Amino acid sequence: MRPTAFALSLVFALSSLGRPSSTLKGEDSTTSDERPNIVIILVDDMGFSDIGCYGSEIETPNVDRLASEGLRFTQFYNSGRCCPTRASLMTGLHPHQTGIGHMTAPPNQPLGFTGPYQGYLNDNCVTIAQVLKASGYHTLMTGKWHLGANDKSTWPSQRGFDHFYGGLSGAFNYIKPGDGRTMSRDNQSVETDENFYSTDTFTDEACRYISQVTEEDDRPFFLYLAYNAPHWPLQPKFEDFQKYKGKYRDGWEALMQTRLKKQKDLGLFPENVNPAPHVGPKWDSLSKEKQDELDTIQAAYAGCIDSIDQNIGKLTSHLKDCGASDNTLIFFLSDNGACQEGGVLGRYQKGWEKDSPLETVDGIRQGLAWANASNTPFRLYKHFLHEGGASTPMIAYWPKGIASEKRGQFVRQFGYLPDFMATCVELGGASYPANLPPCVGKSLVPVLQGSDSPIHQEPVYWEHEGNAAVRWGDWKLVREYQKPWELYDLSKDRTEMNNLAKSNTPKQQEMVAMWKTWADKTGVAYPERFNMYQFLNQKKKNKQSPNNKKRKESTKN
C-alpha cells in the first residue's frame, strides 16, 4: 500500500470509531442500524428521453415504477463523458481534482501517461465506498469501473470496495469482453463463460453480493451498479432486438415529435418549450435500404435499454426477497447524453440482425442523428456541456425515506454529480476526511424529504476537453470547445435556443470571469481542443518516425 493510501486508511479507521452501532448476527443487542442501504445505478451513454418516464417509447416499466413511487429530477447534471462523470460521482469533487480531467489511460498504456492529467484516481481524493466503508457499510460494486486499469493500485478493491466484479476499461463487448478487456473479480482477472451477457451478469453478481452481506450481519450496504449498456458496441439479445425492429422506420424527426409530445403530457416540459431542431439529414432523403439499416441500429439500441430495465426489475425483486426493499435508497441516472460517436448515420454491419448477438469489439453504433433524437428536446450530445450532453434523467426511490405525498413528483431544482458524496456522508453518518479537498456537492437529503429550496445557491462549474459551462441560478454560460461563450436563461429557455451573450454582455462577462477563476483554482488544463486518443496516436507516430529512429541509432552509437 502506498504511504498516502495508508494515511487515508488510518483516517478512516479513526473516523469509524464514532459510527452508529449495528446489530450483528448472534449479538444480544436491541440496537439496530437504521441507516439506509444505498444503491447507485449508472447506465452508459443513454439519452435524456430514452426511458418511458422521460418520454420514450422503449418499454421500461421497472424504471418507470421507481419514478412513479419516487422522485424524478428534471435538471440533474453529469460531466458530459464517461470517466469524468464516474470520477466526480465517486469522489464528490471536480474530475480535474481527481486526476481524470479528460479520460483514463486506455488499456496497455503506461500508468500516468503524459497528457494534461494522470488518467487514474489520485491519492488526493476518496471514493464514496471508502467513506461509507469506514462508517460500517458493506461496499459492493459490479459493472464498469473506468477509473484506472493499468495497475492494481487503481482498481476498485484499493478504492474501498469489499467486493467487485466487472470491467476495468471504458468500452468492452457484452458477450465476450476479450482483447485485453477481461472481467475482474476483486484483484484478479477472470474468464467469462458462454452464459456471460454483461447486463445480466452484472445484475446477477450484484444480487449474489447482496445476499452474501445481508446474511452476514445487519449492517447496511452500498452498491454501485454501473452497466456498460447502452454504450457501443450495441449488442442486444436477439429477442430484445426483435421487439423493436421495424418501430423506427418513420425516422428521427417523427420520433422526436412523438417523444416531445409525451414529455409535455407527462409534465416534464411546458407546452411552449422550444425544442432543438434535428441536425442530421432529412429522413425522406435517404434510400429505403439505408432507412432499414438505421431502423436496425436504433432497434439494437432500444433492445439494450429494454434489457437494462428487465435487470432493474430483477434487482428490485431481489431486494424485496431479502427484506431490504423499504429501506434501500436507489438512484438511477446516465453518465452523459446519447453518444454521437460513429458518424452522423452511426455504424452498421451488414447481416448483423441475422448473426446477433454480434461478437466483435466494434459492433454497431447509434451515431449523431439518432443520438440527437435520444436527447430530445436538447442540443448536442456526449462530450459537450450543452443540455444534450450534460443533462441526465435521474430518479430517486426510497420507500422509507420519501413521503408518500411526494412520490411521483418532479424535482425542479438543479443538482450535479458531487451531490452524491454529500448525500451518502449524511445518510451514512460518515466522516469525510478533513485533510483532503472539500466535497463540492450538497446533500440531496432535504430534497428527498420534500424541500423545495434550491440545492445550489452557489454557481457550479464544468469543463471537459475545452467544453465548459457554469450554472448559476437560472443562468447558464456554456462554450463548445473554443467557440464564443453562449449565455442562456434556462427558466425561459431550457433548450438553449436563444443566446443572450450579446444582449446581456455584462452578465456574460461576469460569468466568464467566474469560470476562469474557478478553472485556475481547480487545476483545469487549457487545451484548445484535447482528444486523448488523438494525443496517444500522435505519440505513437512520433516514436515510429524516421527522425526518431535516427536519433535512437545515434544514441546507441
Active-site residues, by number, are: 82, 146
Q: Using CA atoms, how far apart are residues 317 and 308, in angstroms rounded to an integer?
A: 14
Kindly report the length of the chain: 557
Nearest 5°: CA angle at 220, between 215 and 223?
A: 95
**How many CB atoms lie under 10 A from the CB of residue 538?**
11
How far apart, in Å, are the Cα atoms of 262 and each of 11, 51, 266, 317?
50, 11, 6, 28
Report the amino acid identity of residue 377: P
Q: Hey, what's the torsion of the CAs at 438, 225, 357, 363, to 10 degrees?
A: 0
Q: 288-321 and 198-216 are packed helices; what angle lies between their axes, rounded to 10 degrees?
A: 10
User: 63 with 46: CB under 8 angstroms?
Assistant: no
- Judged on CB neighbours under 10 Å (0-12, 13-18, 19+), 536 is middle
Neighbouring residues of 463: CB distance < 8 A, sequence distance ≥ 6: 96, 101, 385, 469, 519, 524
210, amino acid identity: I
Contact 100, 84 (CB under 8 A): yes
| Residue 57 to residue 254: CA distance in whole angstroms | 12
Burial class (CB in 10 A: 0-12, 13-18, 19+), 3: exposed
- How far apart, in whole angstroms, are the C-alpha atoms of residue 370 and residue 338? 9
**49 three-state secondary structure:** coil
CA pair distance 383, 337, nearest whole angstrom: 8
Distances (CA, A) of 265 to 48, 50, 270, 321, 494: 16, 16, 9, 35, 17
Grid coordinates of 336: 452523459
CA distances from 310 to 48, 59, 145, 497, 550 (A): 19, 9, 22, 36, 58
In the chain, DSSP finds a helix count (H) and a strand count (E) of 17, 15
Give me 464's grid cell.
471537459
Selection from 76, 74, 78 nearest residue 410 by Cα? 74
**Packing angle, helices 288-321 and 61-68, rounded to 10:** 60
